[in-house]
Amino acid sequence: MYDSDKIIPGLIIFVGLMTFPIWSSIGKAEPKPEPKIDTPAINQMVKKQCVEDTHFMKTSHMQMINDWRDKVLRDGERYYTNSRGEKVMMSLQNTCMKCHSNKDKFCDTCHTYTDVKPYCWDCHIQPKGIKQ
Amino acid sequence: MAMTFSFFAVIAIVVVALIGALSGLHFVFGVILPYAAFAIFLVGFVNKVLNWASSPVPFRIPTTAGQQKTLPWISDSKLDNPTTTIGVIGRMVLEILFFRSLFRNTSTELRSGNLVHGPAKWLWLFALIFHWSFLLIALRHLRLFVEPVPFLIQGIESIDGMLQVGSPPIYISDLLIIAGVTFLFMRRVILPRIKYISLAADFFPLFLIFAIAATGILMRFVFRVDIVGIKTLLVSLANFSPVVPDGIGVIFFIHVALVSALMAYFPFSKLMHMGGVFLSPTRNMANNSRAVRHINPWNYPVKFHHYDEYEDHFRDVMKDAGLPLEKE
């Protein structure tokens, strides 16, 4: 083998970079986020359910609130009829955050875990008692 | 033919993954396949590079794309014709990060009867766009493998999404990689000379990468998947304690199957230029052949027979034949 003084370190660096997720996780527990739903508003509910079914909310809530925003601000529609036929006011602060007033223990747990930083709170007001 | 074959090869991967995911083989497609593909990738890559390293470079063959170092009052081109290790490192950095030699690409064509040579920068531009967006996308994916997400990755993520269009926001690198891969494909279809020399080995990686980008974008904007579940799976893969959460979504398994195909194919394909670029002898050698003697590594020890020795050996015979001798 030729130039092994350069090629072997190069390969070691390559393998090191490629396996970064493996060795960087050694010794760390796996903290899976657990969004908490014990807020005053939800605790009062008889049947604890979200605007749409849980799987849809989990995967598509960001698209739904984006649609809401467009409907409210562009078409002036303020009410949304969900798949159960209930009328819901389309509002980030007055609907979502009324039930999920524990933003830091709900929205943020998932968002920190998957590294998403919704910029909505640049303008919209967070539920009281939660620091930016 | 090459194109059709590559196209259907990619479609076949998609179909197999679709059927597999629908019939509940989540452990096969979510755990076994990625593990196997990653192992093939790492072992194959290292093996290939070691194989290359076992071939000697017989002499210095740096390309000299600038003034060589000569007399002190002639300024030499330190990056394009380096004579020092630092210069070589500079040239390699320019080559690897900015495709310096592709930037010098020229095209030759007949224009109103004259043969003209001119610069051709489009390939360089789109190649740069394609490779950089590929790198950014790969790095960005670390947010789904590593917990907590490293600071650098968070930075890339927020810069890439800074257009803040829609929710989830569009990534700039997603648009760029599609533009890049489309250009690289179109040039193989539109330019007759390039089309003539294009093989399945050229089309297959392009289609595969296009399919990976397309499934990724579809997964983000159309067929939403449970991203928290996916991160749980990927982190568990990195910890070697795999668990596949329920309800992830079929398209994720298609995406993963395509990526696994890319990883497993990588060491056996032209994509190995990722490792090969570091070993290109015309780029990574200093042009110092006038200053330093470079000995061909496969030279065997030559037995010399100098004229002195020759004369000693044949003195008598030569004397008899009347030949002139240096020493009597």
Model pTM greater than 0.80? yes
Contact A11 B297 (CB under 8 A): no
Please report, as a single letter, which amino acid is at residue B47. N
Residue B156 backbone phi and psi in degrees, to 5: -60, -45
Mean pLDDT, rounded, for A96-113: 86
* Cβ-Cβ contacts under 8 Å, A118 against chain B: 167
What length is written for chain B? 328
The pLDDT of residue A30 is above 80:
no
Q: How many CB pairs under 8 A join A and B?
A: 92
Residue from A23, B122, B62, B318 nearest B327 by CA: B318
What's the pLDDT at A132?
Answer: 53
pLDDT value for A130 = 63
Q: Running DSSP on this structure, what letter comes out for residue B31?
A: I
Tokens of B323: 């030949």
CA distance linking residue B170 with residue B173, whole number of Å: 9
pLDDT digits (tens, 9 = 90+) for A76-90: 888 888 888 888 888
CB-based contact B278 A63, cutoff 8 Å: no
Nearest Cα residue to B160 out of B144, B184, B180, B138: B138
What is residue A131's predicted lDDT score, i.e. its pLDDT? 60
First to last CA, chain B: 78
pLDDT tens column, B259-286: 999 999 999 999 999 999 999 888 988 8
For residue A63, which residues of chain B lie inside 8 Å, CB to CB?
A: 167-168, 224
Share of chain A above pLDDT 70, in %: 95
Residue whose structure tokens are 């930037």: B103
Q: Is the pLDDT of residue B42 over 90?
A: yes
| pLDDT at residue A115 is higher than 90 | no
State which of A27-31, B247-251, B270-274, B288-292 shows the largest mean pLDDT.
B270-274
B chain contacts of residue A123, beta-carbon cutoff 8 Å: none
**What mean pLDDT is predicted for residues B47-59?**
89
Per the CB < 8 Å rule, is A21 touching B231? no
Residues A22, B238: C-beta atoms closer than 8 Å: yes
Identity of the highest mean pLDDT range in B126-130, B149-153, B229-233, B306-310 = B126-130
Q: Which residues of B touch A117 (CB under 8 A)?
A: 158
pLDDT band of residue A40 (cuts 50, 70, 90) is confident
**Contact assignment for B143 to A114 by CB distance below 8 Å:** yes
- pLDDT of B256 reads 95
Task: Give the 3-state DSSP-derived string for B155-172, with helices as H, strands as E and coil as C.
Answer: HHHHHHCCCCCCCCCCCH
Contact A66 B275 (CB under 8 A): no
Collect all residues of chain B within an 8 Å Cβ-Cβ radius of residue A2. 53-57, 297
What pLDDT does residue B218 have?
94
> Among A113, A105, A95, which residue's Cα sits nearest to residue A130?
A105
Cβ–Cβ below 8 Å for A66 and B166: yes
pLDDT at A29: 67
Q: Of B204, B205, B220, B206, nearest to B255 (Cα)?
A: B220
**Residue B44 predicted with pLDDT over 80:** yes
The torsion angle over the Cα atoms of residues B184, B95, B131 and B272, rounded to 10 degrees, is 80
B2-320: in CATH 1.20.950.20: yes
Residue-level pLDDT at B247:
80
Residues B52, B54: Cα–Cα separation, whole Å: 5
Distance between CA atoms of B183 and B172, rounded to whole angstroms?
A: 17
Beta-carbon count within 10 A of A132 CB: 5
* Angle, helix B172-190 to helix B200-221, in steps of 10 degrees: 150
What does the DSSP assignment read for A48-114?
---SS-HHHHHHHHHHHHHHHHHIIIII---EEE-TTS-EEE--IIIIIHHH---GGGTHHHHHHHT
pLDDT at B268: 95
Res. B92 pLDDT band, cuts 50 70 90:
very high
If you search the block for the tokens 């020759």, which residue do you land on? B310
Mean pLDDT of chain A: 85
> Which tens digit of pLDDT belongs to each residue from B174-191?
999 999 999 999 999 998
